[in-house]
Amino acid sequence: MSTKRPDTLGGLKASGWVSRPVRDEMRDNLLARMTNNGDLFPGIVGFDRTVIPQVVNAILSRHHFILLGLRGQAKTRILRQLHTLLDEFQPIIAGSYLNENPYAPISPRSRQMLSELGDELPIAWRHREERFHEKLATPDVSIADLIGDIDPIKAAREKLDISNEEVIHWGIIPRTNRGIFAINELPDLQPRIQVGLLNILEEADIQVRGFPLRVPLDICMVFSANPEDYTNRGNIITPLKDRIDSQIITHYPRSLAEARAITDAEINTPDSDITVPEFMRDIVEEVTFHARRSEYVDQSSGVSARVSISAYENFLSNIVRRALVNGDRDLFPRVCDLYATISAITGKIELVYEGEQEGAALVAHTLIGQAVNTVFLNHFPEPVRGKGSPDDRPVDNPYEAVTDFFSSGRRVELSDDLPLPEYERRLVNIAGLDRIVDRYFPTDNKREKLLRMELVLEGLFHNNVIAREEVDSVVSYGDIFSDMLKGMGN
């Protein structure tokens, strides 16, 4: 085809353009991309061996398909990338509401124009992005929204009889003719509205009101939905399920590396001056992994990847805030910064009854603690509890100097807004703490060593070796037995 796209039917014929059904077009372009080793779905992480092959198979099979999975599993993102499998530009009859094929018009008006104008029929071109439309299913969506209805105002304005099909106001699906139409959260669509989709999927046509017309549509229908037990608002009617050719199950990332890659791709422009060690990144991601296993969280609702994304953004912001408050450039994380993520977690997890009784903030606090302990045990030995019997062989306890420090009655307070010199002084003064890091998790970075020392304190608390109290973001570490006795006295 020449650089200048033809603007009449005669020019289109001369250019050699060949018409293809939209699903054939997607299939051909997918095959070409795979042959050239192109990236099929950029930015989609963790689905390479599970979801993506099934989507490819559905497209190669020319199927209508549905992505079924919990929230935050990239279903909508995959659907919104499907338009890249369409030709860059597509010719349509100029002024056609239904984006009609110049070679095969389907409306009376376009057929009449073709009869009168012949090869002078005007042609317009639409970009592939204009050929993808989507609709979020809500209970108030009507057949008129999706398919169309009689427009009495149009009939009066153009002096048309109400029986003339030119008075029909076409819905969003017919206006997507020769393109891709996506419906998100399909179960939320009322059953009587779902029935209206049956003819589109089975017969590739629509009917409007009492008009004895059948409008053949060339369209690829795709859907997303949560599992039926996730919502009480509705489900997918059986006849519609039967007409959706492929059902593809999505899932959450299965490794920390995949979860981190998703977070890195989605966070809002982090401060490039902030250096976050890998083990701190792991803690942020572990919060979400623990939430997906928590007995307090409604697992049928799911825990979105947006938990990690928002939490990490809050985590970075707290570092920046501290640097501004203290008037320095200490853009380095602390373990206590993790608790600034609670506000990002509480609104994104659905709790079961027991979780509601505990409270969202406490559940979030617990999840952060579990994540910290998981990463702590990945790098340090599990603390020894108790001394055992006199006959037992003595066990090497690397934390003995630290516990002895607190057993003497000392307490150490840390907070997320403590100036760096004071933060360093308080950690360094804890006997034996630096030697633990040097032995099990060494680093040449002086600032990161302080962070790892703080991680040890948090790990010892979560393993019931030392005590910890938190009041208004100020964390106080002390002797666990002294705190127990104080509690008994109270």
Q: Express each pLDDT in 365-396 by its tens digit.
A: 999 999 999 999 999 999 976 555 555 545 67
The whole-number average pLDDT for the span 148-171 is 69
**Could you tell me the pLDDT band of residue 471, with boundaries at 50, 70 and 90?**
confident
Say what the alpha-carbon torsion angle 171, 175, 180, 181 is, to the nearest 10 degrees.
-10
110-132 pLDDT, tens digit each? 888 999 999 999 999 999 999 99
Name the strand (E) or helix (H) holding 434: helix 433-440
Residue of 265, 419, 266 lying closest to 334 (CA atoms):
419
CA-to-CA distance for 71 and 99, rounded, in angstroms?
A: 34
Per-residue pLDDT, 149: 77
Residue of 91, 95, 86 lying closest to 104 (CA atoms):
91
CA-to-CA distance for 67 and 258, rounded, in angstroms?
A: 20
Mean pLDDT over all residues of the chain? 88
Sorted by sequence, the CB contacts under 8 Å of residue 374 that are 6+ apart come out as 283, 286, 290
pLDDT at 87 over 80: yes
Q: Which two tokens stand for residue 161?
A: 């009889």
DSSP-derived 3-state class of residue 287:
helix
Per-residue pLDDT, 154: 67
Neighbour tally for 35: CB within 10 Å: 8
Min mean pLDDT across 27-31, 50-54, 354-358 is at 354-358
Per-residue pLDDT, 181: 96
Residues of the chain with pLDDT > 70, as a percent, come to: 88
Q: 340, 314 in Cβ contact below 8 A?
A: yes
pLDDT at 481 over 80: no
pLDDT at 222 over 60: yes
Min mean pLDDT across 165-169, 187-191, 231-235, 442-446 is at 231-235
Min mean pLDDT across 198-202, 386-390, 457-461, 463-467 is at 386-390
pLDDT at 458 over 70: yes
**Could you tell me the pLDDT band of residue 164, with boundaries at 50, 70 and 90?**
low
The CA-CA-CA angle for residues 121, 124, 128, to 5°, reads 145
Sorted by sequence, the CB contacts under 8 Å of residue 119 that are 6+ apart come out as 8, 9, 10, 13
pTM across the whole model = 0.86
Q: What is the CA radius of gyration of the chain?
A: 31
Per-residue pLDDT, 1: 42
**Could you tell me the pLDDT band of residue 210, with boundaries at 50, 70 and 90?**
low
Residue of 347, 82, 62 lying closest to 224 (CA atoms):
82
Which domains, from first to last, does the chain contain?
9-249 (3.40.50.300), 256-379 (1.10.8), 400-489 (no CATH)
Q: 338, 368 in Cβ contact below 8 A?
A: yes
Per-residue pLDDT, 48: 92
- CB-side neighbour CA atoms (13 Å) of 115: 7
Per-residue pLDDT, 489: 54
**Could you tell me the pLDDT band of residue 175, with boundaries at 50, 70 and 90?**
very high
Residue 392 DSSP label? S
306-344 pLDDT, tens digit each? 999 999 999 999 999 999 999 888 899 999 999 999 999
Per-residue pLDDT, 140: 86
Per-residue pLDDT, 371: 97
Per-residue pLDDT, 209: 64
pLDDT at 170 over 90: no
CA-to-CA distance for 362 and 274, rounded, in angstroms?
A: 28
CA-to-CA distance for 98 and 181, rounded, in angstroms?
A: 13
Residue of 227, 293, 273 lying closest to 73 (CA atoms):
227
249-273 pLDDT, tens digit each? 999 999 999 999 999 888 886 666 8
Beta strands in 7-118, from DSSP E residues, in sequence order: 65-68, 89-93
The whole-number average pLDDT for the span 167-189 is 90
Residue of 364, 376, 229, 355 lying closest to 290 (CA atoms):
364
Per-residue pLDDT, 2: 45
CA-to-CA distance for 213 and 141, rounded, in angstroms?
A: 23
**Could you tell me the pLDDT band of residue 229, with boundaries at 50, 70 and 90?**
low
Residue of 266, 149, 300 lying closest to 211 (CA atoms):
149
The whole-number average pLDDT for the span 9-34 is 95
Per-residue pLDDT, 155: 64
